[in-house]
């Protein structure tokens, strides 16, 4: 571990790729020392290198309680207390319900939901111990309220994240720690497993007429963790170009 940082410390899970990577880069620009974690240690190291001297890359599978506790302890003692946690790690396989294997159901819930509980509990315990007025941001999804075929496991894991966010906000708010969630719509990330037809159908349902970029989400994280945002607690922010407004592809009805 490096010596103590004089910057506030932010930890991002699943930060080696996609939205998490962009959140890490954004918080670095905002003046945080970033703990870039990912189950893929090489990816985490690459992003930390991209940020430069005010970042540390660490291999972290959010399902591994002992490793989480070890990293949180080492970072707190060696760099500084974690003030911001972004629970971004998540997987989104797409499988029809009738074919959905138990192992895939468990994997989605273990990474998306249980991992969020494990990392949050470890970090929040330390925040309370150190009297840190921390910020926790959870990555939910538009699928948490608007189901889609093939996402029985994913959508239900994200619905549970919305409620986890609320109960954490209720309990931790009393200790000065806020907990909020961001529910992104379709965000383009490199190598996403979407075919062209599926992609175009989704874009047609987005009122502003474009898909989101990871920076659209990172900007909201930045806003939620900034000083002065502490009255925002237990909120779910839908950041989706208007996709969650209703049945967006129904045309205007008029009498001829
Ligand atoms: N991309 C979208 O359209 C979209 C929409 C709504 C919500 N989200 C949510 O945003 C988050 C990030 O999505 P993304 O599109 O950037 O995904 P991504 O696949 O590009 O990146 C996810 C990262 O998480 C890491 N990861 C996977 N399992 C992990 C584990 N067990 N422990 C730690 N890290 C792990 C991966 O290695 C990867 O680097 C997810 O929670 C996802 O559900 C994404």
Residue 249, in any domain of the structure? no
Residue 204, in any domain of the structure? yes
Q: 53 is in which domain, residue-wise?
A: 9-241
First-to-final CA distance of the chain: 71
Residue 49, in any domain of the structure? yes
| Per-chain mean pLDDT for the chain | 96
Q: Say if residue 228 is exposed, middle or buried (CB neighbours under 10 Å; 0-12, 13-18, 19+).
A: exposed
- How many separate domains does the chain show? 1
Ligand 1 atom at minimal distance to the Cα of residue 17: 39
Ligand 1 center from residue 25 Cα (angstroms): 16
Ligand 1 atom at minimal distance to the Cα of residue 140: 7
Residue 1, in any domain of the structure? no
Residue 251, in any domain of the structure? no
Q: For a pLDDT cut of 90, what percent of the chain falls above it?
A: 91
pLDDT in the model for residue 4: 63
pLDDT in the model for residue 192: 79
Please name the residue that has the structure tokens 């010596």. Answer: 3
Task: Judge whether 92 counts as a catalytic residue.
Answer: no
What pLDDT, in 10s, does the model give residues 110-168? 999 999 999 999 999 999 999 999 999 999 999 999 999 999 999 999 999 999 999 99
Residue 22, in any domain of the structure? yes
The CATH number of the domain holding residue 170 is 3.40.50.720
Residue 225, in any domain of the structure? yes
Average pLDDT, stretch 187-212?
90
Taking a C-beta distance cutoff of 8 angstroms, is the pair 170, 127 a contact?
no
Residue 184 CA to residue 59 CA, distance in Å, equals 25
Ligand 1 center from residue 134 Cα (angstroms): 23
Residue 254, in any domain of the structure? no
What pLDDT, in 10s, does the model give residues 1-36? 444 679 999 999 999 999 999 999 999 999 999 999
Ligand 1 center from residue 17 Cα (angstroms): 8
Residue 138 CA to residue 6 CA, distance in Å, equals 26
């Amino acid at each position: 571990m490096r010596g103590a940082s004089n910057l506030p410390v932010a930890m991002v899970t699943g930060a080696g790729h996609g939205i998490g990577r962009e959140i890490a880069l954004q918080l670095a620009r905002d003046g945080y020392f970033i703990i870039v974690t990912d189950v893929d240690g090489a990816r985490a190291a690459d992003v930390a290198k991209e940020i430069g001297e005010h970042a540390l890359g660490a291999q972290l599978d959010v399902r591994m309680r002992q490793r989480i506790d070890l990293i949180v302890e080492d970072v707190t003692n060696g760099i500084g207390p974690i003030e911001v946690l972004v629970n971004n790690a998540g997987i989104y396989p797409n499988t029809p319900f009738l074919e959905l294997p138990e192992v895939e159901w468990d994997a989605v819930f273990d990474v998306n939901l249980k991992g969020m509980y494990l990392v949050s509990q470890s970090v929040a315990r330390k925040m309370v111990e150190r009297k840190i007025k921390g910020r926790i941001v959870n990555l939910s999804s538009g699928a948490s309220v608007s189901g889609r075929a093939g996402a029985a496991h994913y959508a239900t894991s994200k619905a549970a994240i919305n409620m986890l966010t609320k109960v954490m906000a209720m309990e931790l708010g009393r200790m000065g720690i806020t907990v909020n969630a961001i529910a992104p719509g379709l965000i383009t990330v490199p190598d996403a497993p979407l075919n062209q037809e599926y992609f175009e159908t989704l874009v047609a349902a987005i009122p502003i007429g474009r898909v989101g970029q990871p920076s659209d989400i990172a900007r909201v994280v930045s806003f939620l963790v900034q000083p002065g945002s502490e009255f925002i607690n237990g909120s779910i922010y839908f950041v989706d170009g208007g996709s969650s407004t209703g049945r967006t592809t129904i045309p205007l009805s008029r009498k001829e």
